[in-house]
Structure 1
Amino acid sequence: MDREKREQLIEALNGLSAEDEAAVLANARNAVSLLAESGLDWADVIIQVARPEGTFSADFDHGAIDIDSDDDDSPTPLRLGDADVGRVLHALRARDDLSPETRAELDDFAGELAAGRLDSGDRAYVLALAGRLGVGRP
């Protein structure tokens, strides 16, 4: 879903609280139509907000997760399937506040995931970044 459609979807969802029932229905249908046009369903756009204590083990010297794995006692992020990692990548890439370098990295990861070649280190990086930025995961 591109940024314009995303903003239209947000506007449609905000319109669900309108006083006029016809406007509510029109906004609901618009939201469903925007999803269909983008080839998405609700599971693709509604991502549960991650709770650090449920997603990653605490690590006293590196915050919520240590992706370096140099100390042999680094926590391991929860393993997610390709579809779940794809949703997290989609949510990260939808952010407006990413640096061009980070965005390019995430685009590369999405390509690797689509080709079935995203390795465990890159998966850990994606999940760690999502946790640090407060981006939800499935």
Structure 2
Amino acid sequence: MTLKKKLTILLGITAVLAIGGIAMINPFTGEDEPEYGVEMTNERQQKKEIEIALSKKIYSEYKDVEKIEFNQWRHSKETGMWGITVNINNSNAMSFNFSDLKSINSLRGSSYNPKTFKLVKRDKKLNSNQVTIDKLKIKYSE
């Protein structure tokens, strides 16, 4: 093999390695991509914070709330919306939709079946920021 061929092969290998190294860095920020586990932990924390805030919201709006159970979160790739169904006192189901998982302020709507939903609204809504939910039985989503 001639020196010219060896040099061409060496430059080709170097170029491939350099391109591969550049591809592993985020081109928009110049930083490494976040690890999958770190992102998932953050998402899990956001869901838990929203579930706590929803528990306070439900307790502040309805009488005789004793037990709240959160089902699995759903995410629509088409719309970007997030949703969760909550069972209250075992027999009252309510669904909530969020535009994102940033906070409870991302709540875009809620719904329930009036034929099966039997909870009674409070005469005066409690301030959900001052409500304590320590005495409620709450099962958070996994």
TM class, shorter-chain normalised? Answer: under 0.3
Q: TM-score, normalised by structure 2?
A: 0.25
Q: Which is richer in strand? A: 2
Higher helix share: 1
TM-score by length of 1: 0.26
- Structure index of larger Rg: 2
